[in-house]
Amino acid sequence: MKLITAIIRPNRLPEVKESLFKAGVRGVTITRVSGHGGQAGITEQYRGSQFVVEFHEKIELKIAVSEPFVQTTIDAIVQSARTGNVGDGKIFVQPLDHVIRIRTGEEDIEALTPVGA
């Protein structure tokens, strides 16, 4: 089992969501976040004053999947989130030791939302 965390551009969320659904991935948690990676602060103007925007608005997706669906999930995100410009985001893949579905008590793979469900 793996936890896939993806940081993407907010404007790419509809495409990423559609791509994940087409791939059969259903269980997704979405959070609005801000930060920066390779993108340095950019200077913008507002009402004649210049200011530096250090942190950029992003969307964080968290998706727990079983091993056979890790690459499918990654491919769906990359294909739909990529613009080719700096700031497209990152994907992190981490092991999951234990998962419990609170409602039923199911554990591990049985507790994950099945791909295609």
Each residue's pLDDT tens digit, 29-57 = 999 999 887 766 666 777 778 777 778 89
Phi, psi of 96 (to 5 degrees): -110, 120
Residue boundaries of the structural domains of the chain: 2-111
DSSP class of residue 111 equals: G
Give yes or no for residue 16 having a pLDDT over 90: yes
Share of the chain above pLDDT 90, in %: 68
- Report the alpha-carbon distance of residue 74 to residue 117 in Å, rounded: 18
Read off the tokens for 69.
């669906």
Q: What CATH fold (topology level) applies to the domain 2-111?
A: Alpha-Beta Plaits (3.30.70)
b/e sequence 58-92, b meaning 16+ C-beta within 10 Å: bbbbebbbbeebeeebbebbbebbeeeeeebbebe
pLDDT score at 89: 94
